[in-house]
Amino acid sequence: MAPAPSLRARWRGLDSLKRGLSYMVLLAGSILFLFPLYWQISTSLKTSQQTMLYPPLWFPWPPQFGNYPALLDRFPMLLYFRNSAFISSSVIVGTLLSSSLAAYGFSRLRMPGRDLIFMALLSTLMLPGAVLIIPQFVIFQRLHWTNTYRPLIVPSFFGSAFSIFLLRQFFATIPLELEDAARLDGAGYLRTYAQVMLPLVRPALIAVALYSFVGTWNDFFGPLIYLSDRERYTVAVALRYLQGSARTRPEHHLLMAASVLAIIPCLVIFLFAQRYFIQGTVITGVKG
Amino acid sequence: MWVQSPALAGPRGPRAKAKPSLTRRREAIACVLFIAPAVFGFLAFAVVPLCASAGLSLTDYDLARWPRWVGLDNYRTLLSDPLWWQAVRVTFTYAAIAVPLWLVNSLALALVLNQNLRGIPIFRTVYYLPATLSGVAVAMLWIWLLNYRAGLVNGALGLIGIKGPNWLGDKRWALFSIIVMSQWSIGWYLPIWLGALQGVPSELYEAVSIDGGGLWARLRHVTLPMLSPLILYNLVMNVIWATQIFTEALLMTGGGPQWATLTYMLYLYRNAFSYSKLGLASAMAWLLFGFILVLTVIVFRSSPLWVYYESERRRA
């Protein structure tokens, strides 16, 4: 068997070549992907003059940490953070409650026509938001809910197709025996749902909470059309307002400082809870 | 969706033992109660608005006065409106370039990441990270990166002696810039592709190797056919999302220069909320909806030509 070792050696050579190439591609790509974030942070630590240098200043020295207090001084970012946090946490509560109830019903309780209703509900994921926005706006305006947080929060208490889908997929993986055992012990549907099923789908609940948070925190269109008082702005809408004022003066360092602050919650959540996001994406294949 | 998830068929099938009908009825009542809030939401926030916007599209409505019936006038107005056609052209161009790029880039990245290499989890985190950041903050960041004079992109190009264009201020480059920026979030698809790639049976790859096929043959005859249902699904969903692009256009270019980035949603938003032409905007929404419906039907109808389903292999 003379040719075998040489063939294997050639394979190994090819293999390490492939490895080396892969690493190079991955590293180059990583730099490309992370550099915008680096640039955002480094700009936020420059002086106003330094931001306008050409060629650009690659590393801000000395870093102007004072930009952040200066921003908070001139611009009530903390207020906007509180507003966004209030809306996001309300939406999380609403979505978790309504979607888990519905998901349990759709996956575990039998009723004629149930799956048909579920498919109809799911088909709303394919609806372009455009066909819903205007009548929704008219309805909320008639209810005198514009310029309040209600149009942004209340709908979440009536389920979201995406979350129901995700949770239903998860409920489906839980063995029926567990539920039957609870039922034999005399637990009603509500107790089975709350005490047996919910604890078992905790990862999915966390994923739903995270998606709701990120979605609400980043939402721009909703706050843009519903909120008009500046004190009620969310972080996203406030950033746009800040951009308007930065156009007149070269304040890119402050604008970047504000946008760094705006992405920090999502960044932190992602770094600590990455696996829940990934699990959720794999299960549904749907962008949240 | 039905392409992808067998679980939709319902997990509850085989357990249909004969049960007293009283328990049956109690279960059905419980089901109604559990799904009631979601069904109400479905009716109030999807079905009613959907019908209402169809009705509004046939009226002249500005919120202040009662809607006035105008028949198909709004649709006629749009079809003879050069700006509407411009919005269609911009959105179509965006979707036609950005969507294939998303799919190809993310799949290529997933193929590279689907190797048994050290440090892969770190790379996955890096590529996935930008996908969770979106909206206004990211648009602000990219406005700054693409700044004509002091932006990073032109700074980097300057290092290799190229004088970069005024990305967002030049009508030849503005839409292109937004497309490039959108590629920053391709990481979103990584978990989906990687999950699917792990599911490809390795004996198929071995069969190709035995036949003397290389990397390309493996991709062409195994990976792509096995992933084709998922590709189809991602294609449809992505085209729908691509038609919704709004934040970037509003914040980064305001639809300009010279309407070069006037996306469909931006024009709709202006008609509805800047000019209070709610009837006209509803007609715009329905034209978009109709287009998406037709496209979805075409893609799914044509799918037997190029999508490979596991069940067919088993049957054969």
Q: Which of the four pLDDT bands, split at 50, 70 and 90, describes residue B3?
A: very low
What is the pLDDT at residue B20?
63
C-alpha B152/C-alpha B158 separation (Å) is: 10
Look at residue B315 and tell me whether its pLDDT is greater than 50.
no
What is the pLDDT at residue A287?
44
Do residue B144 and residue A136 have CB atoms under 8 angstroms apart? no
Residue that the structure tokens 């919704």 belong to? B244
Residues 6+ apart with CB under 8 A from A205: A96, A100, A167, A198
How far is A243 from chain B, CA to nearest CA, in Å? 8
Query: CA–CA distance from B127 to each of A34, A260, B121, B186 (Å)?
Result: 8, 19, 10, 8
Pick among A99, A124, A176, A287 to test the B interface (most B CBs inside 10 A) = A287
What is the pLDDT at residue A14?
74
Q: Which of the four pLDDT bands, split at 50, 70 and 90, describes residue A19?
A: confident
Look at residue B81 and tell me whether its pLDDT is greater than 70.
yes
- Of the candidate ranges A153-162, A242-251, B62-71, B170-179, the one whose mean pLDDT is the lowest: A242-251
Interface check for A142 against chain B (CB to CB < 8 A): the answer is: no
Do residue A239 and residue B136 have CB atoms under 8 angstroms apart? yes
Mean pLDDT score, A19-25: 87
Do residue B34 and residue A102 have CB atoms under 8 angstroms apart? yes
Look at residue B314 and tell me whether its pLDDT is greater than 70.
no
**Helix/strand/coil for B60:** strand
Interface check for B31 against chain A (CB to CB < 8 A): the answer is: yes
Decide if B178 contacts A271 (C-beta within 8 A). no
Do residue A22 and residue B115 have CB atoms under 8 angstroms apart? yes
What is the pLDDT at residue A282?
67
Looking at per-residue pLDDT, the higher value among B50 and A48 belongs to B50
What would the pLDDT profile of B88-106 be if each residue is shown by its tens digit? 999 999 999 999 999 999 9
Average pLDDT, chain B: 85
Instruction: Express as a percent the part of chain B with pLDDT over 70.
Output: 91
What would the pLDDT profile of A86-132 be if each residue is shown by its tens digit? 999 999 999 999 999 999 999 988 889 899 999 999 988 888 888 99
Interface check for B129 against chain A (CB to CB < 8 A): the answer is: yes
- Of the candidate ranges A77-81, A135-139, B23-27, the one whose mean pLDDT is the lowest: B23-27
Average pLDDT, chain A: 86
Q: Which of the four pLDDT bands, split at 50, 70 and 90, describes residue B263?
A: very high
Pick among A134, A157, A216 to test the B interface (most B CBs inside 10 A) = A134
* Residue B166 β-bridge partners: none
CB interface of B with A, residues 196-255, below 8 Å: 230, 233-234, 236-237, 240-241, 243-244, 246-247, 251
CA B47 to chain centre: 22
Decide if A20 contacts A12 (C-beta within 8 A). no
What is the pLDDT at residue A128?
85
C-alpha A90/C-alpha A107 separation (Å) is: 26
- Chain A residue whose CA is closest to B296: A126
Interface check for A239 against chain B (CB to CB < 8 A): the answer is: yes
Contacting residues of A for B5, CB less than 8 Å apart:
169, 285
